[in-house]
Amino acid sequence: MNVSTAVSRAAAATPHLAAQTGDQRRTMLYACADALAAAGAEIVATALAETGLTEARLRGELDRTTGQFRLLGDHAAKPWRRVSAGVAAGGGDVVTVPVPVGPVAVFAASNFPLAFGVSGGDTASALAAGCPVVVKAHPAQPRTAELLGRILAQALPDGAFSLVAGGPEVSLELVRAPGIRAVGFTGSLTGGRALMDAAAARPDPIPVYAEMGSLNPVLVLPGAAVPATVSALAAAVTGSAGQLCTKPGLVVTDAAAFADELAAAVAALPVHRMLTDGMTRAHERWQAHASAAYRVVAGAGTPAPFAVVVSVGELTGELLEEHFGPSVVIAVGAAEDVPSRLEGSLTASVFAAEGDRERARVLLPGLLARAGRIVWNGVPTGVAVCDAMQHGGPWPATSAAWSTSVGTEAIERFRRPVALQGVPADLLYGHSELAQCPTAG
């Protein structure tokens, strides 16, 4: 389907979706979850052949995908409470209600072909907000995208979902389409910035909620420099071939022996193939460059897992950038010297024992200023889909640090508040989400 047709269909479906009650919206999202679950075997087999990800990983991702459709459906069905009441200066009670923004362009990610792809959280949260979606398929997974698109299109009302495919020119055409009112994106900093620039250059600029690169620093304090921490971090670096947005890209430790143990553990773990040949080549280029400039401990295979071991004093430039794939920078030195050098990240983690608490207290304010989620004695991979989750962070991790792309608050990206002052209650019933918001009296 071309962009013009897809956006026209979405625009035509907008009044119907906006007029749904919360219960109707929940039923719609549950239908999506049920349809995906029913086709689970075909979905996993198709994604397995196309991505190289493991069957266990994809089955878990499918469960997460269906689960977030149901979670967001349940949230959409909750009645909205009054946020301001009483007589306004101009007369009449004031009630604020959420209103869908309209058609949303969603860009499928490659590293989570189900949970952040065509059927991912951006699609589910836009639908939960009452917005039609036009999804741009990721070129690395055309068969998976087509299958998921067909399943969702059959489960949803006409025009509520459309799938388009193509290169960068199609992406820009979609963002520039006059009917599109917001954008959800997960991908590279270069791609996200291009979409932001296109959206800002429109006669009517629209918001772009982009999740982009993230270093996800980990600070290991002396009491936690133990074998269990080594095992957890090595698995987090190499899991899914290091192709997770929350992969630890930097580990800082005082202990040179811990750094050596972690580097050896990373190099020893098996890694499956990466999502694309281009990603593999980029990983290999980083390994070759790092090996010429720093101490590198590498394993075998393609892609080869490896660790770059440096001192904290060397941390600058490329050592503080995200490198997609099974690699990590391990810096030896004082953790206190690190937070001020970091850019925004999705996560920051601290491993500490009881005796490290006062030192951790000093470090946390710097991490809070630079991350959307702080993890204590745990790895940042495995983002829980729940009400409290914040999956976002300061630039360049995302374009909107106040928003999240995971959890029920993700819905808020795709609706706007409208204050109703003195509007008769009987006019609200049966009209979209307004019917769910109690009025005064």
The C-alpha atoms of residue 304 and residue 217 are separated, in whole angstroms, by 21
Helix, strand, or coil (residue 183): strand
Answer whether residue 439 shows pLDDT above 60: no
> pLDDT, tens digit, for every residue of 86-140?
555 666 677 788 899 999 999 999 999 999 999 999 999 999 999 999 999 999 9
> pLDDT, tens digit, for every residue of 322-377?
999 999 999 999 999 899 999 999 999 999 999 999 999 999 999 999 999 999 99
- Of the pLDDT bands very low, low, confident and very high (cuts 50, 70, 90), residue 438 is very low
Query: Residue 357 corresponds to which amino acid?
Result: R
Strand partners, 430: none
The CA angle 437-439-441, to the nearest 5 degrees, is 155
Helix spans in 239-356 (H): 256-268, 277-293
Answer whether residue 430 shows pLDDT above 70: no
- pTM score above 0.85: yes
Which residues in the chain are classed under CATH 3.40.309.10?
217-376
Query: Residue 52 corresponds to which amino acid?
Result: G
Question: According to CATH, what is the number of the domain 3-212+398-436?
Answer: 3.40.605.10
The residues assigned a catalytic role are 211, 245
- Which of residues 299 and 434 earns the better pLDDT score? 299
Average pLDDT over residues 15-38: 95
Strands 104-107 and 133-136: parallel
pLDDT score of 86:
53
pLDDT score of 418:
86
Answer whether residue 440 shows pLDDT above 50: no
Residues 6+ apart with CB under 8 A from 248: 216, 217, 218, 233, 236, 237, 328, 349, 379, 380, 381
- Of the pLDDT bands very low, low, confident and very high (cuts 50, 70, 90), residue 317 is very high
Which residues in the chain are classed under CATH 3.40.605.10?
3-212+398-436
Average pLDDT along the chain: 92
User: Could you tell me if 293 and 314 are in contact, meaning their C-beta atoms sit under 8 angstroms apart?
Assistant: no
In this structure, which CATH number among 3.30.420.40, 3.40.309.10, 3.40.50.300, 3.30.300.30 belongs to the domain 217-376? 3.40.309.10
Percent of the chain with pLDDT over 90: 87
pLDDT score of 79:
74
Answer whether residue 436 shows pLDDT above 50: no
> pLDDT, tens digit, for every residue of 151-193?
999 999 999 999 999 999 999 999 999 999 999 999 999 999 9
> pLDDT, tens digit, for every residue of 272-292?
999 999 999 999 999 999 999
The C-alpha atoms of residue 436 and residue 441 are separated, in whole angstroms, by 15
